[in-house]
Amino acid sequence: MAFPGSRFLTEIVFLHRPSGSLILGDLCMNLGPDRPLLSRAYVRLDGVAGRFAMPRTIRLTVRNRDGARQAVQRMLEWDFDRVVTGHGDVVETGGHQAFHDALGWLLRGS
């Protein structure tokens, strides 16, 4: 499914039903303190240091909030507990809640 809304990114999101995994590319990151210095500095500036979150660089480019909100609502209807990202560590458990927390700002409309 496509996550529309960003001026510079149309993310394609996948659900792998057999493993209960949501698969993301750039929509969220999960980089911990074990990364090289330059990576740690970048993720700190991008607002995702040490946590699963949507990067500020993506969040600030979301222009079609209605389309993005609808996509997040559909994804939250999916049955997953694990999240695999293109950048960072896999969220092995609690991924559904982590995803909700990371993109909940769209659901609140702020």
Higher pLDDT, 20 or 107: 20
Give residue-wise pLDDT tens across range 42-74.
Answer: 888 898 888 999 999 899 999 889 999 999 999
Higher pLDDT, 38 or 92: 92
pTM of the model: 0.89
pLDDT at 109: 60
Distances (CA, A) of 91 to 11, 20, 46, 81: 19, 12, 19, 8
**Cβ neighbours around 84 below 10 Å, total:** 20
pLDDT at residue 110 greater than cutoff 60: no
